Structures are given as structure tokens and as C-alpha cells.
Structure 1
């Protein structure tokens, strides 16, 4: 009986708490006159926001007849609920900050859209041209063009595949499968190669998602994009230089200390050893292959939501391990590992040159967007 009373009391308390939470959420809604003002969501910890807010305040000062409402998401609390309410009401397709809502449908997201369009939106409000869904179509079109120029699925898939054919991304797999052939059957070749590939996939996906989520959470998209673009350009220059000058003392690749740790595992032919080997190889390969990945993560952070980012990262990393799976299938079906290694050595300089040029291009794009 006493236990039942306790459970009943706990149930009542939980119900009251849930009711209070729901009631609190219901009180945070879009103001009824939001379509006649400019609502600005920003964060004092966001580098992009810090750069664009002086422009917003200057425009507000020049058009004092238009009401501006400012909300700093860094303060937390009801601001996030209000932000979500605006996103839902305006049907924002890429919620991020800085973002400005006005009229019936105007959503300006990111520094570039705000700089290019805010003045026109404010003038339209000032002269009573908006709210008007028909008049606001011009800003919808501008936002669509801005958001789809850079981030496309073919770009992500191409980057993942190009990153996957990087010589140091599958060198270790060839040597691992050589060891397996000397100690097992063709079936073990497939099992070991797939285990190794999936381990690499897991390391790269988790590392990429962790970094992507951190950038979104700490709202440092602009800073991360700048850093990633610079790194991509630096690694691209190194890749091109190593392709044109093979004797260059500094070359992209797995560090020497990493090879010392990985070498003993080469003698193992078990699936668990291949998984461990894939994890370690994935970690040690990052200095060699991380340039492309960082650039793609910067573009995702700028243009994709978290849900979209997960799908793009899955697609990228599936393409990244595709060459590993192809090598596994080829060796498992009878292609001598030596032939694969000969092909790798023969095309190493060409691959580095192609990857270097791609890195330079995507690095520049990352800095410009």
C-alpha cells in the first residue's frame, strides 16, 4: 500500500511537471505583429554574427521607422524556443544563425544573405510593400540560389571518392591482405578486408560528425570554415609539391611513429585484429587525408542542418571506403596483391597531383562561401 501511494505521488508530480513544461512552451510563440518588424537572431559567440551585426545595426539606425527586435541565442532559455517558433512559422529550410525574419515569408540566413538583402527588405517594410507573399518571392529565390550553389550531393560523393583513392588511404590494406593470404583462405580475405574497411568508416564518420556537431553547437561556423579552407590549401600545396618533387623532405602520409605501431598488426590475420588495425589506420591517416574531409565539413557546417549533415557524412564516408572494398574484392577474387601495389606506386604521383589541385580548389571555395 505504501509503495502504491509513493508511485501515485511520483506520478502526480511528473504530470504537474510535464503540464508546466507544456504550458511554458505554449507561452513562447511568434508575436502577432512579427510580419511588420525585423526579427534578428544572433549569438555573441558566433564569429559570423559578430561580423554582420554592425551592418544590421547601421541599417536599423538609418531606418528608424522600422522596428527591429534582437535576440541573442547565447543567453539560452526562452530564446531557443522563440527561435524554433519562428523557424516553424516561416518554414526555414536551413535553420542557423545569424538569421533574420520579416514580412510573411522573408528569411535571410547567414552573413552573405543578410549583407546583400537586408537593406531592400527594410525599405520594403518602410514603404508598406511587405508583408506580401507575392512581393517577397524575390528574396526566396535569392536564398535558394545562395544555398544550393556550393553544397550538392555530387560534390560530397566526388570528394569522398577522391579522398578514398588517396595512396596512403589504402596502402595499409594491401599489406594487411598480403598477410591474410599467407595465413588463410579467400573467405578470410573478404572478412578481413570488410572488417578493416568498416572500422575505417566508423572512425572517419564519428570524427566528422563529432567535429560537425561541435561547430554547430559552439556556433563557430565562420571561424571553422576559414581554418578548414587554409588547411585544405596548405595540404593541397604540399600534395602538388610532393607530386612534382618526389624527393621533397616533407610529404603527406602516415607518420613514421604511426607505421611503427601498425607494423606488428600486419602479421595478424584475424577479423578483430583487422578492426583494430582499421581504427588505428584511420587515426594515423588523418594527417594525410584530412584536408578534403575538413573542407567538406566546413561546407556542411555552413549549408546543412544536423540531420542533413548526418546523411551527407554517411554518403561521403561510403564513397571513401569504396576503393577499400574494391581492393578487397579484387584480391579476394584472385588479383595478386603485388599488382595492386604496383598500380599504387605507379600512379602515386598522379593521384597526389589530382588530389592537390582538388584541395586547392575546394579550399578557395571554402574561404569564399
Structure 2
């Protein structure tokens, strides 16, 4: 059916209505938010701060990227906190992920609590309403970056993810680990060898210094290697922390089982390999410091289940909460605490404490030490697994 053309008078009557409708439509469009013209025609600065291996950061980045792509006039920059501490400090940022719009609007995780819809809304509002404050004198503008893998330098933030490790807690954990039947046994063994070879106080001090240095260096190398690997490949952080928590729990159960074996038949499952005993028996006055250092390193490896259990739990915390440089600092504190009892015992043996007295004390208290250590390790493993530590 063909429609008839409308009478001319109708067309004349409609034109004013069309004009009114068009004017209203244009007015509405002019007040509606348009991503292409956000914040006028000026460039809007959006800076995204993240940490390598941060799961919350990985979840937030796609949302931020989607929003900024819808605004052609947005200058988007990405900063890894380990290499951008100065800029973080300027904004007063202590947590990640954090988004800063035009250097005056800061959006943190607490603002949206993982809700991506809220994050998107907050970011859009910030882009559309923020005004760009003047740059401080001498500060260059932020450069655009779309790379999530910026190179890092040696500058370390004092606070990471809003948390700060307690160095005194780390030191206390090291000292606790140092009061270990295995360490006491080896130090008493070395002292008895020194006395049997007519060694004096100077030789005993050399053995103590070399043995302590060997333990310290071995655990530093192992810890920094793990922290460095996690920093280089952040996606394995979750796997590493789960593995460390699992190993801590297993070693804790092992300690409890060993306490049971010691109570029942006075036999420990933490035996010192004959190769290590033979090596230590051959330590003479020649190259005493070097051989003691090697003995300490070997001891750290072969007796890791006995001595290194608490070390695993500390390492788990460092992997979760620190970077390589800061983690190395706390590792040094822990390892210093670990060798403090060894140094103290070595000094006592030097000034006249009998190795037999040390052995007698170790034999008398090792069941209790094993049991308490095992329970502590299991508790630590559970706390680590549930992200309480």
C-alpha cells in the first residue's frame, strides 16, 4: 500500500516542533558525559602503581586499561613501586594497586574493595572531573607507558603493601632457631676435636667464626636466590609461598615424630651424615678458618630439616611482603640471630666450658626442644597458608 504524501500545511506545522526537538537533543548531548572530550580537550594524566606478583594489581589493571582506552586524551603511565618510590612518596602512597588521576585524585584498593564496577565508575568520574594542577618546579611530566614490566632499580620502599616487617621479630626468630640440638651437637663435636688436637683458645675462636660465617653465607645465598627468582618471575610467587608453607608443616610434623622417637628409644631421625663428621674430624690447625667455613656451609645443607625449618617460614613472609633488596636486609638480620647462639657457645667453650656439659644439656632437653619446635612450625605453616602471616 502506497502512502499518500502529507498535506503541505502539516509540513509547515511540524517544522517548529522538529526544531524544538533538535534543540532539546543537542542540549542533552552537550551535558551528557562523552569519553572523547573528558576534562575538556586537555590531556588527563592517569598513573597506575603496582607491585610485581600482586594479585590485586593484576585484577585491577585490565579494568584500568579498558577505561583509559575509551578516553583518547588520557596519558596513561604505569609504575612498579620498587623503581618509583620517589613518586610514590610524593603522592603519599603506601598500598597497591593505586591509581592517581591528574596528580590530585588518588584511588586505592580500599575505595573499591575488589569491586571492578566501582573501580571503573570511580576512575571514569575522576577522569571527567579532575583538573590538572601545575607541575612542581623542576619536575618533568610523566611519560606514557604501556609496559607492565618496567625495569627496577635498587631503591626500596619502607612500606610495602601497607605493611612493615618487624626486624626485632625477625631477629628473635633467628635466635630461637639457633638454640637447636643439631647446632649444639656439632659445636660440642668441634670443640672436642679441637681439645683432642691440643688446640687452644685461638683455634676454638677460629672454628666458631668460620662455622658461623659458613652458616650465614649459605642461608643468605639460598634466600636471595629464591627472592630473586620470585622477583624475576612474579607469577610463581603463589606457588613458592604455598610450597614453603607446606614444607614448614612437613618439617614441623617431622620434629614431633623425632621427639616421639627420642622419648621411646632415644634415637633421633636427624642424623649427621658420616661424610660431614669425617670432614670435620680432619679439620686441623692448617687452613682452620677456611675448613670451618666449609663445614658450616655443608652443615647448613645436610642439616636443613633440623636447622632451617623456621628459616622456611621467615622466607615465606619475605617472599610475600618484600622485594629482593629489602628481603636481603631481613635475611641478614635473621641469619645474624641464627648464628648468635653459635657464637655465644663458641665463646663459652673458648673460656673453659666443657663440651661434655654441652652434650649433657643437649641430651637432656632435646625431646622438649623438638616437640616445641614442631608445634611452632605447624602453627606457622597454618598461619602462612591462611595468609595471616
| Superposed pair shares fold, TM > 0.5 | yes
Q: Which has the higher helix share?
A: 1
The higher radius of gyration belongs to 2
1:39 corresponds to which residue?
48
Q: TM-score, normalised by structure 1?
A: 0.69
**2:258 corresponds to 1:242:** yes
1:91 corresponds to which residue?
89
- How far apart in 2 are the matches of 1:171 and 1:131? 69
Compared with structure 1, are the counterparts of its residues 70 and 40 closer, same or farther at alpha carbon in structure 2 (3 Å cutoff)? farther
**2:208 corresponds to 1:210:** no
Are 1:233 and 1:363, in contact at CA under 8 Å, matched by a contact in 2?
yes
2:275 corresponds to which residue?
260
1:324 to 322, 342, 352: 342
Give unmatched runs, 5+ long, in structure 1: 1-30, 72-78, 134-142
Structure 1 window deviating more from structure 2 (240-249 vs 359-368): it is: 240-249
The secondary structure found in structure 2 opposite 1:268 is coil
1:358 to 376, 380, 384: 376
- How far apart in 2 are the matches of 1:62 and 1:99? 16
The 5 A counterparts of 1:55-70 are 57=62
Compared with structure 1, are the counterparts of its residues 94 and 335 closer, same or farther at alpha carbon in structure 2 (3 Å cutoff)? farther
Give the superposition deviation at 1:173: 1.7
**2:214 corresponds to 1:199:** yes
Are 2:67 and 2:124, in contact at CA under 8 Å, matched by a contact in 1?
no
Give the superposition deviation at 1:233: 1.2
1:172 to 186, 198, 215: 186
**What do you get for the CA RMSD once the two structures are aligned?**
4.3
Any idea what the Cα deviations from partners look like across 1:39-84, whole Å, max 9, x if unmatched? 37587xx5x54x874576579889998999999xxxxxxx77x877
Give the superposition deviation at 1:113: 10
- How far apart in 1 are the matches of 2:298 and 2:280? 10
1:294 to 293, 312, 322: 312
Compared with structure 1, are the counterparts of its residues 167 and 83 closer, same or farther at alpha carbon in structure 2 (3 Å cutoff)? closer
- What number of residue pairs does the alignment pair up? 311
Are 2:177 and 2:338, in contact at CA under 8 Å, matched by a contact in 1?
yes
Give the superposition deviation at 1:299: 0.9
Give unmatched runs, 5+ long, in structure 2: 1-41, 134-157
1:156 corresponds to which residue?
170
- How far apart in 1 are the matches of 2:209 and 2:316? 29
**2:224 corresponds to 1:226:** no
